[in-house]
Amino acid sequence: MTALLRLQVAAQGFPFDDVVRTRLVLESAVVEALAAHPAAQTADAHAVLDAMDAEGLAPAEFLALDAQFHLALADASDNVVIAAMMAGLRTAIETYVQAGAAKIPDWDAVADRLRAEHRDIVAAVEAGEGTRAATLVTSHIAGYYAHLAATPAAPADKN
């Protein structure tokens, strides 16, 4: 527990690009491992996906569920080290994701895309398609951050 808390505190100061690259490595390994075991437990991921379908979710609520989804996959991998690392990085990930979402003018379209990508990832895992699942999760994570990078900052409120 002490190590996890230290990682959470340290994660606040990690460079954004390092956090993204770490996510790509960890999460692609997670979905590949899950896909290799047909009995992988994806029920928690499905429950989070269903919650993400609720109407009227604010971006912050949606993104909290998004983080839960990714943690549910890590937990399902039965690799306690990866699950702990993902949990430890969660604060850093949420900080970057939430800050970026605030500048996305077409949030509903982005949320729809993220929902579809999540469902595609789980479907690939459940079909035993590890390479496809890894490709999908990599595209999902990299695509969101690329979208953030390409979105100009929202104008400051003049009121």
- Closest CA relative to residue 134, chosen from 1, 27, 37, 48: 27
C-alpha separations of 114 from 3, 102, 156 in Å:
31, 16, 27
What's the confidence (pLDDT) of residue 157? 38
What pTM value is reported for the model?
A: 0.86
Concatenated DSSP letters for 49-109? Answer: HHHHT-TT--HHHHHHHHHHHHHHHHHHTT-HHHHHHHHHHHHHHHHHHHHHHTT-TTHHH
35 close to 129: Cβ distance less than 8 angstroms: yes
Give the pLDDT confidence of 112-140 residue by residue, as tens digits. Answer: 999 999 999 999 999 999 999 999 999 99
Interatomic CA distance for residues 67 and 97, integer angstroms? 9
Whether 31 and 101 have beta carbons less than 8 Å apart is answered as no
Q: What percent of the chain has pLDDT over 70?
A: 86
Kindly give the parts of the chain with pLDDT less than 70: 1-13, 38, 153-159
